[in-house]
Amino acid sequence: MSSSFVDTSFHVRYAETDAMGIVHHAAYIVWFEEGRSAYMRACGLPYSEVERRGYWFTVAEVRARFHTSARYDERIVVRTWLTELRSRGLTFTYEVRRVADNALLVTGETRHICVDHTGAVRRIPQDLLAALRPSEVTNISKEGQ
Amino acid sequence: MSSSFVDTSFHVRYAETDAMGIVHHAAYIVWFEEGRSAYMRACGLPYSEVERRGYWFTVAEVRARFHTSARYDERIVVRTWLTELRSRGLTFTYEVRRVADNALLVTGETRHICVDHTGAVRRIPQDLLAALRPSEVTNISKEGQ
Amino acid sequence: MSSSFVDTSFHVRYAETDAMGIVHHAAYIVWFEEGRSAYMRACGLPYSEVERRGYWFTVAEVRARFHTSARYDERIVVRTWLTELRSRGLTFTYEVRRVADNALLVTGETRHICVDHTGAVRRIPQDLLAALRPSEVTNISKEGQ
Amino acid sequence: MSSSFVDTSFHVRYAETDAMGIVHHAAYIVWFEEGRSAYMRACGLPYSEVERRGYWFTVAEVRARFHTSARYDERIVVRTWLTELRSRGLTFTYEVRRVADNALLVTGETRHICVDHTGAVRRIPQDLLAALRPSEVTNISKEGQ
């Protein structure tokens, strides 16, 4: 698939650190979610709109590999790609870096299934599929998205 | 009001600590919620049942005072009282202690308003009021609730 | 004290919502922390620098009043004032609003004590006090801080 | 390796739910941590003791597969196995179930590296290795750990 990506950037929150003095590993899973939220906003299809349409992209699998740790107040950038888009599901891939030195902190993927609000698996409607297609996304790097 | 209380106990989770090496102050707000969940289960009126009946006890105010800090893996007990019960709202009061030395960690209160699922303020139904009345609650201290 | 304030803005994260469909009340306590982090960065004294100097502004009290609820993906702004600055402590005051309609969501305060890394109460060093003084802060509204 | 496992059980916290009405997927990552904390306590080697000895079992990789969703107040059990134990690292495997119907909610693994407090990779000391060896652990199912 295309190499279109979207960057979103923020500071590490104190609440995201743990007693090791670094960002707790579960915080990155939340940051992945921030990454795909930013990706979808950049597509012109905010995830809140998907929900209003009666669908959820429920999380079927998460995987994260931790390379380097980050600390409170450091500026972070999450780069998100849509690496798979199928009729009933999609996969996002993430790279989390520290802005100051571009150090690679964490990489990961999340796999999602399209369900309706009863939980039944559903085809992603054509217009949503079209909006998500990476060719529709120009690479976007925004501070403070 | 009566001095009936309910105790609930658990270990500090690593994710609840922060870079100071101690429990992050926002974790206690979540523990207060655990305290009132345990209180309501002990009343025979789990909060999930309140929701099924079409009501929410939405949080109108939170207050917490931090006395001593806690660390990962320490055993904690949250003691909860219902200190006010009105037709449209209620107030819970909390004491959070470390089990090992009974040190007082945090005290606080949360004030709640009864709303329906449209957000409109509503009277608490009589049978729910009756179940919540502290006289109906015997003091309960449970490990591992 | 002066009415200097600092604004910081971000989107509601999905992880910050709860089963009521709205932002969980404990998330605002974390947002207050974001507010004072932004305030201190704007002072030229990031809190990470306070820690490097050997001090913590430990949280002694939190208070929050919840007026209106927010939802996933809404843009939020936290406005922070330093409303008290004493030799051994300080108080921040917060207003959290939804950007779209400027609705007031939550107001609150946090009271802090200056301690060293052994936990002993300490005077705030003169140069830190000087940096924090609101007259040193120009009102700052930044998107995406 | 041996099939020794440790169970730990608790209720879903309201703060762990999200706007889908179910437990947010990142909460399970925290529950995995609870699972391995319980496992290590059952070994007679609480993780807090590992830290006091000057080591961290830092998280190198997390993987979770989401099968069924859970809701507020449901009773959950996390079953934890130590599935790999090497000189410089270890892997835990988890099964998260709902107690009421034994439904399998989430499965996953976390891979850890032993580092000292400077972050350098280190051999796990022999006595810690011995304590962790699954043959030393009897299967333990506890409510309310």
Average pLDDT rounded to a whole number, residues B116-120: 94
Distance (Å, whole) CA A48 – CA B105: 39
Task: Say yes or no to pLDDT of B107 above 60.
Answer: yes
Task: Say yes or no to pLDDT of D143 above 50.
Answer: no
Chains within contact range of chain D (3+ C-beta pairs < 8 Å): A, B, C
Q: B64 and C66 in contact by Cβ < 8 A?
A: no
Strand order in the sheet with C104-116: B140-141, B6-11, B75-85, B89-98, B104-116, B55-66, C55-66, C104-116, C89-98, C75-85, C6-11, C140-141
Catalytic residues of D: 18
So what's the pLDDT on residue C24? 98
Q: What is the mean pLDDT of chain C?
A: 93
Strand order in the sheet with A6-11: A140-141, A6-11, A75-85, A89-98, A104-116, A55-66, D55-66, D104-116, D89-98, D75-85, D6-11, D140-141
So what's the pLDDT on residue B143? 47
So what's the pLDDT on residue B138? 63
Contact between residue A62 and residue D64 where contact means Cβ atoms under 8 Å apart? yes
Q: Which of A62-66, B79-83, D30-34, D134-138 has the lowest mean pLDDT?
A: D134-138
Interface of B with C in 46-75 (CB under 8 A): 51, 56, 58-66, 69
Task: Say yes or no to pLDDT of C107 above 70.
Answer: yes
Interface ipTM: 0.92
Average pLDDT rounded to a whole number, residues A63-91: 97
| DSSP SS3 for A118 | coil
Q: Specify the residue for token string 């009566």.
A: B2
Q: Which of B12-21, C17-26, C123-132, D130-139 has the lowest mean pLDDT?
A: D130-139
Distance of alpha carbon D47 from its chain centroid, rounded?
A: 11
Average pLDDT rounded to a whole number, residues C107-127: 96
Distance of alpha carbon C123 from its chain centroid, rounded?
A: 21
Question: Long-range contacts made by residues A125-131, C-beta under 8 angstroms, separation at least 24?
Answer: A125/A53, A125/A55, A128/A45, A128/A50, A128/A53, A128/A55, A129/A85, A129/A87, A131/A43, A131/A44, A131/A45
Q: Specify the residue for token string 């004590």.
A: C113
Distance (Å, whole) CA D5 – CA D20: 32
| DSSP SS3 for A65 | strand
Give the H or E element holding residue D31.
Answer: helix D25-42
Task: Say yes or no to pLDDT of C101 above 90.
Answer: yes
Distance of alpha carbon C110 from its chain centroid, rounded?
A: 8
Q: D25 and A65 in contact by Cβ < 8 A?
A: no
Task: Say yes or no to pLDDT of D144 above 50.
Answer: no
A38/C144: higher pLDDT: A38
Chain B nearest CA to C82, separation (Å): 19
What percent of chain B clears pLDDT 90, i.e. is strictly above it? 89
CA nearest to A132, candidates A43, A10, A55: A43
Which of B7, B8, B12, B14 is best to mutate for the D interface (most D CBs within 10 A)? B14
Q: pLDDT per residue over D105-130, tens digit each?
A: 999 999 999 999 999 999 999 999 99
Which parts of A28-133 are beta strand (E)? 55-66, 75-85, 89-98, 104-116
Q: pLDDT per residue over C4-57, tens digit each?
A: 999 999 999 999 999 999 999 999 999 999 999 999 999 999 999 999 999 999
CA nearest to A14, candidates A95, A71, A96: A71
Q: Which of A71-75, B118-122, C135-139, D62-66 has the lowest mean pLDDT?
A: C135-139
Radius of gyration of chain D (CA): 15
Q: D19 and C24 in contact by Cβ < 8 A?
A: no
So what's the pLDDT on residue B3? 64
Distance (Å, whole) CA C85 – CA C93: 12
Distance (Å, whole) CA A39 – CA A24: 24
Chain C nearest CA to A67, separation (Å): 23
* pLDDT tier, B21 (very low <50, low <70, confident <90, very high otherwise): very high
So what's the pLDDT on residue D80? 98
Distance (Å, whole) CA A108 – CA D63: 9
So what's the pLDDT on residue C1? 44
Q: What is the DSSP letter of B134?
A: G
* pLDDT tier, A145 (very low <50, low <70, confident <90, very high otherwise): very low
Catalytic residues of B: 18
Helices assigned H by DSSP within chain B: 25-42, 47-52, 126-132
Contact between residue C137 and residue C3 where contact means Cβ atoms under 8 Å apart? no
Q: pTM for the full model?
A: 0.94
What percent of chain D clears pLDDT 90, i.e. is strictly above it? 89
**What HEC string does chain C produce?**
CCCCCEEEEEECCHHHECCCCCECHHHHHHHHHHHHHHHHHHCCCCHHHHHHCCEEEEEEEEEEEECCCCCCCCEEEEEEEEEEECCCEEEEEEEEEECCCCCEEEEEEEEEEEEECCCCECCCCHHHHHHHCHHHCCCEECCCC
Helices C25-42 & B25-42 angle (0-180, nearest 10)? 170
Q: How many CB atoms lie within 10 A of CB C86?
A: 12
Q: pLDDT per residue over A12-49, tens digit each?
A: 999 999 999 999 999 999 999 999 999 999 999 999 99
So what's the pLDDT on residue C66? 98
Give the H or E element holding residue B110.
Answer: strand B104-116
Average pLDDT rounded to a whole number, residues D52-66: 97
Helices assigned H by DSSP within D70-134: 126-132
Average pLDDT rounded to a whole number, residues B102-115: 98
Distance (Å, whole) CA B57 – CA B51: 9
What's the length of chain B? Answer: 145
B51 chain-C contacts, CB cut-off 8 A:
19
Q: C73 and A144 in contact by Cβ < 8 A?
A: no
Q: What is the mean pLDDT of chain A?
A: 93
Distance (Å, whole) CA C83 – CA D91: 49
Q: pLDDT per residue over B36-64, tens digit each?
A: 999 999 999 999 999 999 999 999 999 99
Chain D nearest CA to C83, separation (Å): 30
Helices assigned H by DSSP within D64-136: 126-132
CA nearest to A128, candidates A87, A93, A81, A94: A87
Helices D25-42 & A25-42 angle (0-180, nearest 10)? 170
So what's the pLDDT on residue D142? 57
